[in-house]
A = this chain, B = another copy of it.
């Protein structure tokens, strides 16, 4: 316990100068309780959208490097304003850009990965009595180009700093008051959880719960950073994400739905080594996000490979899949648009056969056809038609809560 805490406030929490003053009050309160406070902030509200609009007006396909230079200004505005707001409350604060904070990334512009955090300046400022305000979402490459971390970037910055500083914890402030057993806007009796394990949160995050990006949860798990999701505008206790020992208590922790996805299958794929690898390598090179992958043996020497992609990646993905099909002399590419993935999540739930059978039974009763099934240690997911999804979500949630 070194008394360091990392707090992260997203774009909606710092959307106006009034909201920035509110964040300053909260941060100052934490500092006055005796903590060393590091604050990570995102760009103000919709300011990033405005920058993107200007860029696209100038160049339909702007270079990733220059987009990063442009977008990094958003957080730079927020950090300086928050430092000023804290100063106005009589506490010392200093803002640091990603570069000044020593956040070194690889050169994958617009989607960079943090390779190292050089904490010397951060620690100096912190031990000088400053509240340190860090620009989320951005870093600098080893050859001094500005980079951004892509989706979930600010959460990732916060967790990475907490890990590098061995902070007591990392608090992510959002416009919801914690992690729920299902999306509370869709499921009326969704329940806020006080505590949830990293793995469960990871599955919830991957499966469409918008609270935290899986990248940041993975990093928190890998570095064992206690993570809190807290409401930015109220005093609720939120949800703690940590290592939870519930090996003997296999129960469903959440139910999620992920819409707007598509299923693709390549049928009649020759059963030779490397075939699947090359397909997914090619999709990755084109930045196509693949989710579920299933392969099941069809005939003696032929497989069907199925996978899901977000709807907006479908056309690019279909082109690649069709070209690949011709190349490897497979039979066909079959697509189904607008499917949903419904998942139940809980550590060890696949060890408890009752849960899967309850889930499949409920879908059967609703007359919903299951297109694909995939399971892991912590989740059971089924691909179903989009048109059923809201009804299915409510029903499955009610089964377990």
Contacts and interface: CB of A to CB of B under 8 A. Distances in A.
Given A66-B87, A87-B62, A95-B66, A17 B81 contact: no
Given A57-B17, A144-B100, A62 B76 contact: no
Interface stretch (A67-75, A327-335, A385-393): A67-75
Contacts of A57: 17
Question: What size tier do the contact residues of chain A reach?
Answer: 35 or more
Given A70-B80, A73-B76, 5 more contacts: A17-B57, A51-B77, A59-B88, A65-B94, A73-B73
A45 to B, nearest CB: 12
29 contacts: A17-B54, A17-B57, A20-B58, A51-B77, A54-B81, A55-B81, A58-B81, A58-B84, A58-B85, A58-B88, A59-B84, A59-B85, A59-B88, A62-B84, A63-B83, A63-B87, A65-B94, A66-B80, A66-B87, A67-B80, A69-B76, A69-B79, A69-B80, A70-B76, A70-B80, A70-B81, A73-B73, A73-B76, A100-B144
A108 interface: no
A73 B135 CA distance: 13
B84 A63 contact: yes
Nearest to A95: B69
A99 interface: yes
Nearest to A62: B84
